[in-house]
Amino acid sequence: MLYLKNPGSKGHSKRVTAFTIAIARALGLSTEAIKMIAGGAFMHDIGKLGVPDAILNKSGHLTEREMEIIRKHCYWGYQTLTKIPFMQEAANIVYSHEERFDGTGYPRGLKGEEIPLGARIVAVAATFDAITSDRPGRRAESVQAARDEIDRCSGGQFDPKVVETFLNMPQGLWEDLRKGGDPPPS
């Protein structure tokens, strides 16, 4: 349904999932943990179904009221997924993917390891995709520019351990995954 509302979200969700799987594998997580985290990554923006198209597709700065609406997407997605028995753990990733490692994120202001590891991984993956993709009102930046920005935000927006893992992965991997390649086998 989200893809029908916002066709660009399908590519974003697929890429974020591929990036998330690659990072989770590099962190040495179990196959079961990776599957659960991948589900949360793929569904991380499902709550945007509740956001009006005019806000989702706006090409300028959002007003404070529009930002209030956008910030609700984490809760709306969580509420949606908690109704599906096998999506309980993924629902927590959806709820927490906009939290910041320093506690200044939303919706609950979680800090550090209070944020589920899957959500900390998705935060890096989603930001990487956002920076390296064309968006309304903004052209895509290079993989290196995205890596630099994520490194700069380590310890603030992002978990330093996840950032370190991300930065130690081959840059060519991210370019391959952006083109639709599969994450490397575990």
Written as one string, the DSSP assignment of 140-172 is ---HHHHHHHHHHTBTTTB-HHHHHHHHHS-HH
Residue spans of beta strands (DSSP E) within the chain:
none
177 near 19, Cβ under 8 Å?
yes
Residue 184 has pLDDT above 60, yes or no: no
Q: Whole-number mean pLDDT of the chain?
A: 90
Q: Tell me: the pLDDT tens digits for 23-36?
A: 999 999 999 999 99
122: its two tokens: 């998705």
Average pLDDT in the 92-117 region? 97
Does the bond joining 107 to the residue before it have cis omega, within 30 degrees of 0?
yes
CB-based burial, 84-98: b 16+ in 10 Å, e otherwise: eeebebbbbbbbbbb
Domain boundaries, the chain: 2-178
152: its two tokens: 């700069």
Q: Tell me: the pLDDT tens digits for 9-64?
A: 557 888 999 999 999 999 999 999 999 999 999 999 999 989 998 898 888 889 99
- Model pLDDT, residue 8: 53
The single residue listed with the structure tokens 């993917």 is: 97
SS3 state of residue 158: strand
CATH fold group of domain 2-178: Hypothetical protein af1432 (1.10.3210)
CA distance 94 to 114: 14
Residue 66 has pLDDT above 80, yes or no: yes
Average pLDDT in the 131-145 region? 85
